[in-house]
Every structure is written in C-alpha cells, then in structure tokens.
A and B are shown apart, each in its own frame.
Chain A
C-alpha cells in the first residue's frame, strides 16, 4: 500500500479540487441570481472536500504502509468525507444551476431503475458490509499491492459505497426513495453492528497481507472506535432531521388550533 511519493501522487488531489471548483461555480450562479443557499451547506462542502484532500495527500498516503494510518485514511475517505458531503446537497445545487439539457440528464439518472435498486436498504447494507469484509478479511488487499489500477478502483468503490450510505441516511438531496426515520435508524444499527463485528474479526484474525499483527490489531481498534464515533454523528444527524421536521408539523398544528374559532378538543 506504499506509494513512492512523487509529483504524480499529488494528481489524486485533482478530484477534490475539481469538485470544489464546481461547487463554488454553482454557488456563484445562485449568488448572481440572489437566491439564498444555506451557509451550513457551503461549510459542509468545504469540510468534506478538505477531509478528502487531506486523506489523499501524498504525506498521509505515504504513511498508509502502516496499517493504523491506512485505517485513518479509510475512516476519513469512506465515512467522514461522505457524511459532510451528503450534508452539502451538491445534487440539489446542480439541479438548481445546471443548464436545461444536463439538468434533464441528471434527473434521468436520479429516477433511473439502477439507482432505485442501489438505494434499497436490502442492497446497501450487504454491499457496504460485503465490500469491507472483502477488503480486510480476504487476500484481496494483498492482491491490490500488485496492481495500482485495481487499488484505485477498489478504493473508488469503497468511497462510492460510503457516499451511498451517507446520502441514504442523511442526504439533503432528492433520491429515488426516502426511508422513514425508523428504517434509517435500523439501517444505521445494522451497519454499525456489522462494522463492529468486522473490526473484531480483523483484531482476532489479522490477515498476513496487512502488516505486523500488532499493527493490524491497533488498526482494528481504531476502526472499531473511530467508526463508532462517526456513526454516532450519523445517528444525531438522522434524529436532528426528524426533530426539525416534526417540529414544523407541530407548529403548524398549534397555529391551526389557535386560529380555530371553536376549540377542537
């Protein structure tokens, strides 16, 4: 998993840099139209892309030869950055600012059958846990040393899966399906239980390809507690959304009750 740090290694930063440029461009369009865009979303985008850039930066990537650093990179790229980016509502921003033709394309993707299948909890949970198990508990990670392309593709897949989870649980963007709050909580419990079990299996049976047994154990504990911390933030975000939504309904009910000429109860 060690790469020789060179000029080429910095190329990985092009991805978050491009994303930041696009987001800022969209935000600029809204500003020129004098349309409001929540500042928290702008901050979430900045935070998420900064985390992603830090995790992809050559000094940290050079450290990922040591397993705990690799786990830190994994937590940042696959869990923390997607969590923040899901809050930044980039798809909503794109839908509001894109010209008509690409906008229609984006809408077609959002309504497409594959995305509908991909966002089903029965697909997301096994996909996420299966990918993680394949990466850490099988010889796959050893094979990735040999092929840089496979390495990039596998990590791309992990990041996209992480995004799918975050968007499904707390995303502010339109999705082919919206889960009820109890369903979100259930998905979160299942994922988090699965992460815990995988981290303990990794601790119990450190695969040879990942490094010295002590290092893998330290990494497994970081995966366990770090994953818990991020999942705690996810749980708070899921419930905060519920609290705001039911609060709006409650205030509407109270207004109706107060304006009614005769008390209804």
Chain B
C-alpha cells in the first residue's frame, strides 16, 4: 500500500469524517430538494406511526449534527496534515448511500413516514430512490479499497 519511505496513512479518522459529512449531505438534499423545492415530501403524513415520528426526529437531528461534527473533524485533520482525501470521499459516499437506503427502506416503507411522491405510481420512484442509495454505497466501498495516501506528512 504505502510506497517505501512513506508512512502508512492512518485512515480511520478520514473515513469517519467522510461518513458524517455524507450522512449530513444526504439529509440536506432530502430536506432542501424534496421537502422545500419540489414539495414531493410532506411535513407530516396522516399515516405516520409514533415509531416513525421518533425515527424521523432522531435521524433528522442526527444528520445535521453529523455534518457540523464532520466539518470540524475535517478542519482538525487538515491542521494535523492527516487528511486522506480518497478515504474522506469513500466515507462520504458510504454515509450518503446508507442514509438514502435507510430513508427509502425503513422510513418510507417500514414506518410509512411519508412517500417519495404523492398521487403517482410509487414503484419506479421507490426503485430509483433505493437504487441510488445502493450505487452510492457500492461506489463508496470501492473507493475505500483504493490505496490511501495522506496529502502531506506532519511537519514534526
């Protein structure tokens, strides 16, 4: 993996940072594009169970807290010159894909929180939603196997 003379990169922090930012970014897209711009998703659906409300509340809160924590972790990695960009991207795709799949399978289907879109045949929308999640997840996993290199060695 590491070339001779190069320190093997420590990648755990970079992956974690990416996952947190990825979860937050997916949550942000969900809220901005589907709730606010397209108005496909509804603020509240009559069919929502109590468990669904709690799950949605926790996930919504977790996703935007995750993006704040993730961005500060990224700043910290950078000042330590310990960022491994390929691992941050891998984590980001895994986080975003995981969020998308959880949202599509557990929140939309299992808890019936709200649907992708209303007044249409749902199957193609659900498939597109979940396939997008799987593609993001697989791309992230593939990236996480690529050789990792730090952007620079620490100065000390």
Contact = CB atoms under 8 A, between A and B. Distances in A.
Contacts of B54: 193, 197
B57 A188 contact: no
A104 B109 CA distance: 59
Contact of A243 (B56, B58, B64, B72): B72
**Ranked 9 nearest A-B pairs via Cβ:** A192-B61, A196-B57, A193-B57, A239-B72, A193-B61, A197-B57, A235-B68, A257-B156, A193-B58
Contact of B53 (A201, A221, A239, A243): A201
A240 B72 contact: yes
A193 B62 contact: yes
Contacts of A254: 155-156
24 contacts: A188-B61, A188-B65, A189-B61, A189-B65, A190-B61, A193-B54, A193-B60, A194-B57, A195-B57, A196-B56, A197-B54, A197-B57, A200-B56, A200-B57, A201-B53, A203-B43, A204-B48, A224-B43, A231-B61, A232-B68, A235-B65, A239-B69, A239-B72, A258-B156
Interface string A229-261: 001100110011011001100100010011000
Contact of B43 (A197, A200, A232): A200
Interface of B: 43-44, 46, 48, 53-54, 56-58, 60-62, 64-65, 68-69, 72, 75-76, 79-80, 155-156
B123 to A, nearest CB: 27
Question: Per DSSP, are chain B's interface residues mostly helix, strand or loop, or mixed?
Answer: helix
A185 interface: yes
A13 to B, nearest CB: 34
Contacts of A194: 57
A215 interface: no
Contacts of B58: 189, 193
Contacts of B43: 200, 203, 221, 224
A258 B156 CA distance: 7
A235 B64 contact: yes
A245 to B, nearest CB: 11
A200 B68 contact: no
Contacts of B68: 232, 235-236, 239
Interface residues of A, number: 31
A194 B60 CA distance: 11
Contacts of A258: 156
A66 interface: no
Nearest to B156: A257
A228 interface: yes
Nearest to A256: B156
A106 B150 CA distance: 51
A200 B44 contact: yes
A236 to B, nearest CB: 6
A235 B57 contact: no
Nearest to A204: B44
Nearest to A258: B156
Contacts of A235: 64-65, 68-69
Q: Which of B56, B58, B155: most chain A Cβ within 10 A?
A: B58
Contacts of B79: 247, 250
A196 B60 contact: yes
A235 B43 CA distance: 23
Given A203-B43, A243-B76, A185 B53 contact: no
B75 to A, nearest CB: 7
Contacts of A228: 64
